[in-house]
Amino acid sequence: MVRKNALIVVGLGYGDEGKGLTTDFLCLNNSKSLVIRYNGGHQAGHCVTTKDGKKHIFSNFGAGSFRNIPTYWSSYCTFEPTSFLEELYQLNFEPKIYIDKNCPITTHYDVLYNRAIETTKGNKRDGSCGVGFGATINRQKTSEVALFFSDILKIEVLQQKLKDIREYYKTKMNLETAFEFDSFSHDEEDLLYINSVNKLYNLISRNIIVPIFEKEVFSEIMEWNTFIFEGAQGILLDQNFGINPHITKSNTTSKNALNIIARQTGINFVIEIFYVTRAYQTRHGAGPFRLKSQHFVLINNEGETNLTNEYQGEFRTNYLDIDMLNYALICDNTLSKGITKNLFITCLDHFNSEDIIVFKNHKKVKINYRELANELLCDFKDVKYSFSNFAEFLI
């Protein structure tokens, strides 16, 4: 039986923990690797900064792309052609990406409905990124309007599906939102969307995009020794473990990654999980979050990439909550008991002292950052600390 490594990156918070940095680090030390996005879609934003001055927020590609590590976009992830192309044009190179033919496809109609429903809710929003991820997942449950990557490989199939999806959302928007569906320029948007898909065909012909099935990714002809599973969002937003309705419609635990691994035969996987948290709590989007403490101050965070926007609102920060971290670890342990666990603590350079304040049993406690792992209900094989944006400087 062939022996392979499976390294699973999981966020312990509400997202924005440093999964991009962690993935980049694992790619740095595993050159013959494949990065696998195993949940979410292009609403993820994983920032990677290199020592030679490159910086990018990866949403449609794996965070190992600067290391020339290809990406496999698994069937658990939604794919949005226009966003993909926009990000590709931002890069000065063309990272290779394998896209599962069973990936759900996000359309402009999903984005429109997502934004219309959130705007209609006003100050009672659930906490959406406004890019159509949740709407896509819900639409896929109706077989007549389900759209997969294999469908958009045939332009006539795509054209018919867009007509069906238009009718589907016409009824939903007129019933559920404050907007009149026919007031938007749907014919024009359809043409723009089809034009984006046509550009994908060129990338496929040049082998930049490789349509593929999961079983092919793990076949004997592929020579990857290590599979780095890059998670999106964090466990506290998980559709089963998060606090409704402020959740994402995906499994943000290690569940999907472990399911992919379990489906493969003839491979002996050596599995490790890499949990990630900042040295303080964050949340970008609606939902419960402890009011910022009066004396909570961050430094060296001028490069924060999470900016206030219309749908997620303000990026909120506060002292780290030990109880919430332990809750996240307990949730994931129901799926990953017996697997080797590691911990990455990021953004320690955002404090001016080695002592950090945390909430424990709802009270503020000061501890040295090296003691943080001891407060968590998990036995870690290794703990790494980040005082910069660079993977090379993790200690």
* Stretch (H or E) spanning 158: helix 155-176
Domains of the chain: 2-102+209-393 (3.40.440.10), 108-205 (1.10.300.10)
Rounded (10°) angle between helices 108-121 and 186-205? 130
Residue 307 in this model has a pLDDT that exceeds 70: no
Q: What is the pLDDT of residues 21-52, one digit of tens each?
A: 999 999 998 879 999 999 999 999 999 999 99
Residue 315 pLDDT: 85
Residue 116 in this model has a pLDDT that exceeds 70: yes
Residue 288 in this model has a pLDDT that exceeds 90: no
In percent, how much of the chain has pLDDT > 70? 97
Separation CA 202–CA 160 (nearest Å): 22
Q: What is the pLDDT of residues 90-106, one digit of tens each?
A: 998 999 999 999 999 99
Q: What is the pLDDT of residues 347-390, one digit of tens each?
A: 999 999 999 999 999 999 999 999 999 999 999 999 999 999 99
Average pLDDT of the chain, as a whole number: 94
Residue 290 pLDDT: 78
Residue 123 pLDDT: 67
Mean pLDDT across 190-218 = 98
Q: Count of residues for the chain? A: 395
Separation CA 17–CA 152 (nearest Å): 34
Give SS3 for 271. strand
DSSP3 helix / strand / coil % (the chain, rounded to 5): 35, 25, 40
Q: How confident is the model at residue 125 (pLDDT cuts 50, 70, 90)?
A: low
In percent, how much of the chain has pLDDT > 90? 84
pTM of the model: 0.95
Residue 291 pLDDT: 77
Residue 310 pLDDT: 66
Residue 188 in this model has a pLDDT that exceeds 90: yes
Cis peptide before 245 (omega within 30 of 0): yes
Separation CA 263–CA 189 (nearest Å): 39
Token representation of residue 294: 């009066």
